[in-house]
Structure 1
Amino acid sequence: MSDDSGSSGARLAIAKRELAALRSEKTIVLALLIQLFVASFSSFLVVGLVSLYDPGAGQTYQLGVGLAGDGSDEIGAVLGDDEGVVVRRYPDSATALDAFQDREVDAVLVSNETVNGTLRVRAMVPEENIRTTIAVVQIREGMEELEHRLRLEYRDDLAAPPLHVPVRSGGSPYYGFTYTVLVPLLMFLPVFISGSIAVDSLTEESQRGTLELLRVAPVSMGDIVDSKLFATASLAPVQALAWLVLLGVNGTEVRNVSLLVLLVTGLSLAVVAFGVGIALWSSDRRQAQFLYSTGIIGAATLGGLLPEHPANTVARLAIGTTSRTTIAFAVLYVLLGLAAYVVVRLLVGRMDPERI
C-alpha cells in the first residue's frame, strides 16, 4: 500500500515538474500568447483577414472589359448593369487582345456560338494579384447572370420544366471564415504543440542524463512516460476549452463544446503518444523533431482522404450541423488516442531500459 502511494506521489511530482518546465520554454509561451491573442480578438482579426482577401474591398475599382465575338451584345448587356465594369467592344478578337496587351482594358471576353446553339466564352485576365482577383470575380458573376437570363429566355423551348433553383442566401464571409478556419486552427494548434513538447521533453531528459535520475524514484519507466504523456496531453483540451470560452465572450457562438473538447483530447493523446514513441526510438532532438514534423504532415495529408476532413468535423460540430458521420469521426479520434497510448505502453514495456 505504501509502495503504491509512493509511486503515485512520484508520478504526480514528475507531472508537476513537466508542467512547470514549460514556463522556461520561450517558444511555447509565445505560441500560447499568439493563440490567446487570436481567441481574444477573434472578431477584429476576422474582419481584418476577410476584408484583406474579400474582393468586395475593391468595389471602387473600375474594371475595363473588352468584348469581341458573336455574343458581345448579350454579354455587354449583362456586364453593363454593373457599375464597377466599363465595357468596350472590338470588331474581332485580335483587336481586343491587342488592347489587352496595351493595358487599355483589364480583361477580354471572346464569345462564339457553337453548332448546337450554345455560347462559348473565353476569358483573358492579367497575371497579377489584386487585378486578377477582381476581374475573375466580376466576370464570374456576370457569366452567372448571363446564364440565368438565357435559361429564362429559352425555358419555353425545354422538353421538361427546369428544376427550381433556391434563392441564394446572403451569407457573410465572416461566418464561414470563423467556423471553417479560425475555430479549427484554435483546436488543432494546441494539439501539435503538445506533441512537440513531448518530443523535446523526453529527448532532452535522455541527452542530459536526467532520465536516469528520475528512475531513482520508486517508479518504473512506464510510470515516467505516463506522467510526461498525460501532463503534456492535458494541455491541449484545457487550451481548447479556454479558446472556446473566449470566442463565446467575443460573440462567436460555438455549439457542441463538450464534443469539441473530447475530440481535441483524443487527438492530443494520439499526437503526444506518437511524439513520445519517436522520442523513445530516437534520443537525438533534431532527428526526433524532424520525424515528428514529417509524421504530422503525413497524417494531415491522409486526413484529406477521409470521407470527412478533421477540420470539417470541427467546423460542423462548432456550427451545430452534425451528422452521424461527424459524431462517428469524433468518437473515432478518441479511440485513436486510446489505441496510440496502448501502443506506446507496449513499446515501453518491450524496450531495453538501458537503451532509453
Structure 2
Amino acid sequence: MDSRFTIAGRELAGLRAEKTILLAIGIQLFIAAFSSFLVVGLVSMYDPSGLDGAEIEIAGAGDAVADLERAADSVPGARVTRYEDTAAAREAFQNHAADAVVIATATDDGGVSTVVTVPDSNVETTVIVVQLQEVLQVYESNERDARSGSLAEPPLPLPERTGSSPYFTFTYTVLIPLLVFLPVFISGSITVDSITEEIDRGTLELLRVAPVTLTDIVDGKALAAVAIAPIQALCWLLLLEVNGTPVSNIGPILALMTALTVVVVGVAVAIALVAPDRRAAQLLYSIAVLALFGGATAMAGGPTNAVARLAIDSADLTTYLTVAVYAVLALVTSLGVRGFLSRIDIDAIR
C-alpha cells in the first residue's frame, strides 16, 4: 500500500502543472463562492419567467387594444399606452417612448390578431419578452372566459400555477448537481491524461523497475483521481452554505458522487489502456461519459435527481437505494478493472 500512496502523492503533486484542470477547478470555485450573486443572472437563462415584475411600457394600437389594456392592468410592472394608429405606436417605439409595440386587431372570423414588436437582441429583450408573454397570457385567458358562454361544451380548466420559485428550482436541480458532478468528470479526464502520458513518454516502464506491479501503478493514479473529487464537492457545498444556500445530507451526497467517481475513473483507466493515444482516449472517454451519464440522468431515479432530493432533505427509500446501487456498481467496477489489469501485457501497450 505504501507504493500506491507514493504514486498517488506523485500524481497530486503533478496536478499543479495541469493548467486546464486548475482552470476548471477555479471556475467551479468562483461559481460556488459567488453563487448568491450569479444565481440571479443564471436563472434568467434557465427560467426567464423569474424576471416577472419588471416595468415595461407597451405602445398599443388597433381596434382590440382596449382588452389589451385591461389585461396589462393585471400584470405588475406592465402598462399599455393607446395610440391612434399603428404608425404612431411604432414612432413612439422608435423614439424610445415605449419598450414594445402590440397591434391588436379583430379578425373577420371573430378572433384577435396581435403583432408584437420588441427591440433587437439586447440586454432588455428577455425582460420585455417575459412581461409581454405574461400580458398576452392574461389577454388570452380573459377572452377565453368571455367567450366560454357561447360554447356548446365548457372549455377545459387551465392548470393552476404552482408558484414555485425559479431560484429555488435552479439552485437545487441545476447548480448543486453541476458543482457535485463536475469534479467526477475532471477526475476521469485526469486519469486518462496521466496513464496515456506515462505510456507515451515511456515512463510507465521505468515505474516497473521499482517493486510495483501494473495494478499498483494504476491503483495509485486512480486513488489520487478519486480522492480529489469529494474534497472539491465538499468545498463547493460548504461555500454554498456560506452564501445562504442550505444543503442537507452532505454525507450521502458525497457518498453518491464518490461512488460515481470510482465508476468513471474505472472507465477512464480501461479506455486509456486500450487506446493509449491521448487524443483518441480523451475522445472515447468523453463519448463514454456522455453515454453513461446521459443514460443515468434519463432514469427517474438518476444521480442528479438523487442529489437534488438529498440536498432539499426530501429523500425517500428509493433515493437511498440509488446511493447503495451506485456504491455496489463502484465496487463491481473496481474489481472488474483489477481483473482487466491482471490480464494485460504491458509490453504490448504502445
Give the shorter-chain TM-score range: 0.7 to 0.9
**What residue is the counterpart of 1:197 in the other structure?**
190
Q: Is 1:30 aligned to residue 26 of structure 2? A: no
Contact 1:23 1:29 in 2 (8 A): yes
CA 108–235 in structure 1, closer or farther in 2 if over 3 Å, else same: same
Map 1:1-356 → 2, pairs under 5 A: 8-47=1-40, 49-50=42-43, 56=51, 59-60=54-55, 62-68=56-62, 72-80=65-73, 82=75, 83-88=77-82, 99=90, 106-108=100-102, 110=104, 124-126=116-118, 128-146=121-139, 149=142, 169=163, 171-308=164-301, 310-356=303-349
TM superposition shift of 1:279:
0.8
Q: Which amino acid aligns with 1:178?
A: T
Matches of 1:313 and 1:332 in 2, distance apart?
12
Return the TM-score normalized by structure 1. Answer: 0.78
SS of residue in 2 equivalent to 1:181:
helix
Alignment RMSD, CA only?
3.7
TM superposition shift of 1:264:
0.6
Contact 1:14 1:224 in 2 (8 A): yes
**Cα-to-partner distance string for 1:239-268 (whole Å, 9 max, x where unaligned):** 112221222233211012112101111111
Matches of 2:149 and 2:53 in 1, distance apart?
39
Contact 2:36 2:243 in 1 (8 A): yes
Q: Which amino acid aligns with 1:59?
A: A
Matches of 2:138 and 2:182 in 1, distance apart?
41
SS of residue in 1 equivalent to 2:348:
coil
Contact 1:50 1:174 in 2 (8 A): yes
Matches of 2:258 and 2:105 in 1, distance apart?
56
SS of residue in 2 equivalent to 1:86:
strand
Contact 1:63 1:135 in 2 (8 A): no
Matches of 2:21 and 2:128 in 1, distance apart?
42
Return the TM-score normalized by structure 2. Answer: 0.80
SS of residue in 2 equivalent to 1:234:
helix
Q: Which amino acid aligns with 2:39?
A: V
- Name stretches of at least 5 consecutive residues in structure 2 with no aligned partner: none
SS of residue in 1 equivalent to 2:38:
helix
Q: Which amino acid aligns with 2:78?
A: G
**Cα-to-partner distance string for 1:73-97 (whole Å, 9 max, x where unaligned):** 3333112555533244677xxx58x
Q: Which amino acid aligns with 1:179?
A: Y
CA 155–283 in structure 1, closer or farther in 2 if over 3 Å, else same: same
SS of residue in 2 equivalent to 1:64:
strand
Contact 2:52 2:130 in 1 (8 A): no
Matches of 1:121 and 1:130 in 2, distance apart?
28
- Name stretches of at least 5 consecutive residues in structure 1 with no aligned partner: 1-7
TM superposition shift of 1:111:
6.1
**Cα-to-partner distance string for 1:130-166 (whole Å, 9 max, x where unaligned):** 4542343122222343455567667889988987976
**Cα-to-partner distance string for 1:283-342 (whole Å, 9 max, x where unaligned):** 221221222223333334434532355433322221123345544433333333333323
TM superposition shift of 1:217:
2.8
Q: Which amino acid aligns with 1:272?
A: V
Matches of 2:62 and 2:318 in 1, distance apart?
50
Matches of 1:328 and 1:87 in 2, distance apart?
58
Q: Give aligned pairs, total.
A: 341
Equivalent pairs: percent with the same residue?
43
CA 211–317 in structure 1, closer or farther in 2 if over 3 Å, else same: same
Matches of 2:103 and 2:279 in 1, distance apart?
54
Contact 1:125 1:135 in 2 (8 A): no
Q: Which amino acid aligns with 2:250?
A: V
CA 110–21 in structure 1, closer or farther in 2 if over 3 Å, else same: same
Matches of 2:308 and 2:18 in 1, distance apart?
31
**What residue is the counterpart of 1:3 in the other structure?**
none
SS of residue in 2 equivalent to 1:213:
helix
Matches of 1:260 and 1:114 in 2, distance apart?
60
